[in-house]
Chains A and B, each alone.
Chain A
């Protein structure tokens, strides 16, 4: 089974890929046939703006968590060193993952399933939440 970091990187890369595809479509459309550009589609427009804000704030969030981690002095624990900042790290990165999940899968299910997308998105999102909690617990225990 994939690790916490693999799922995190996968979701971010999937979001980045979707962002790049939309950007490519928008730029090609604007350069050739602006009235037929895919940005006129409301789903594309909405997904593009959400992905833009998510991806641009990721670096700031990661930098904040890195600073918190570096400021903290490790505490001796049984058999290992203890960092409490890893809890905050898990919470923030977990919410980033969920946010990226909602944008990318929301777009995919909305386009492919139409009006029935919401139950599917929430059901599969529920599975991700359970997996995420288990992964965060594992992250707190073993780092």
Chain B
């Protein structure tokens, strides 16, 4: 079965239509992968950034920071653009952020 073409969408509504289209034709995988990539980049960037600047790094801090960033992006995307993100993905990102926060707080001496 051929998938829907971008020309069927009304692109004059805004740039977000392109993202919603990409999310629809991939069955919701596009934005979930996007959130995962944002999480990984933020986590690795924070971790190695700490290491480069301070000489030592705490992975729990990088994990928590990346989780918070991902949750905020997820919440904003599900709350502002219809069809771009779904609630289960946001719930998972909030759970990951909470786990990171617990690790970070319990890791501190």
Contact = CB atoms under 8 A, between A and B. Distances in A.
Interface residues of B, number: 26
A3 B95 CA distance: 26
A41 B79 contact: no
B76 interface: yes
Contacts of A18: 94, 98, 101
B98 A17 contact: yes
Interface in B12-39: none
B90 A25 contact: yes
14 contacts: A2-B106, A2-B108, A7-B106, A10-B105, A18-B98, A21-B68, A25-B79, A32-B79, A33-B78, A33-B80, A40-B87, A41-B87, A41-B91, A111-B91
Interface of B: 68, 71-72, 75-76, 78-80, 82, 87-88, 90-92, 94-99, 101-102, 105-106, 108-109
B79 to A, nearest CB: 4
A63 B87 CA distance: 38
A55 interface: no
A108 B98 contact: yes
A28 B79 contact: yes
Interface in A5-33: 6-7, 9-11, 13-14, 17-18, 21-22, 24-25, 28-29, 31-33
Interface residues of A: mostly helix, strand, loop or mixed? helix
Contacts of B96: 112
B101 A36 contact: no
Contacts of A24: 72, 75
Contacts of A37: 79
Contacts of B91: 38, 41, 43-44, 111
Contacts of B109: 1-2, 6
Nearest to B97: A21
A96 interface: no
